[in-house]
Structure 1
Amino acid sequence: MNRSRQPPSIHLRVMPAPGVALGPGKCDLLAGIRETGSIAAAGRRMHMSYRRAWQLVEELNRSFRGPLVEASKGGSGGGGARLTALGETVLDRYARMRTAAAAAVAADVAALRRLVARDD
């Protein structure tokens, strides 16, 4: 594969408080919940078990001043989940930090790419 055609990859993990980590996995799960309206569907998209997705949502909800995700129980109309206003804010802030971090290191990433052994 031609590495020069692959976009640079940056993985940002933020620890806003001791024991509270926010990174690509949790944020991808939040984005999936935003897009699908379902914790289960968001987890499936990430090849994650329903149980693991729920554990991460519960961890996120405990870690912040309020819940990031609100879930409704299933029933005749089915259940669902949605991001709260706080969840939207957290996800949007993370996306902005990730964009800023990528821009800040772009020149160094480009320099490292020039130093990588080519296989093409």
Structure 2
Amino acid sequence: MKAKDVVAAIHLRIRITPEIAFGPGKADLLEGIRDTGSIAAAGRRMRMSYKRAWQLVEELNRLFDAPLVSASKGGVRGGGAELTRAGADVLARYRRMQADCSKAVRADLVALRRHRS
């Protein structure tokens, strides 16, 4: 097995401050909101309840210095959600850190996989 054939299995969870932890689940939720324009749809994509998705969005909006998600309630035109500039920045930085970590451990992961039964 060559290093280029391995996708590093890294689950990066960072603690930005003692109160703010950010990992793959929150990143996936933000990505889902970006892609679907909906908190509910992003949650469904992750097999997460609507209530849990909203709780995470509210937590993220409260913990950062600026909201990460802007949401509008339903109505005639329906509701929707989108990432704010801060939300897009947080997501992009996290995905970049995740990619950098994967690159950094790729060779060691190849070596570890050689030891499996």
TM class by smaller structure: over 0.9
What secondary structure does 2:15 align onto?
strand
State the 1:24 CA deviation.
0.3
What secondary structure does 1:82 align onto?
strand
Q: With CA pairs under 8 Å and 6+ residues apart, which has the higher RCO, 1 or 2? A: 2
State the 1:7 CA deviation.
3.3
The whole-number CA distance in structure 1 between the counterparts of 2:13 and 2:86 is 19
The residue that corresponds to 1:81 in the other structure is 81
The residue that corresponds to 2:47 in the other structure is 47
State the 1:63 CA deviation.
1.1
| 5+ residue gaps, structure 1 | none
What is the total number of aligned residue pairs between the two structures? Answer: 113
Which runs of structure 1 show a deviation greater than 4 angstroms over 4 or more consecutive aligned residues?
none
The residue that corresponds to 2:107 in the other structure is 107
Q: Could you list the per-position Cα deviations for residues 43-85 of structure 1 after superposition, in whole angstroms to 9, with x for gaps in the alignment?
A: 0000000000000001111111010000001001100000000
| 5+ residue gaps, structure 2 | none
Percent of pairs identical after alignment? 63
State the 1:116 CA deviation.
1.0
Q: What does residue range 17-56 of structure 1 map to in structure 2 within 5 Å?
A: 17-56=17-56
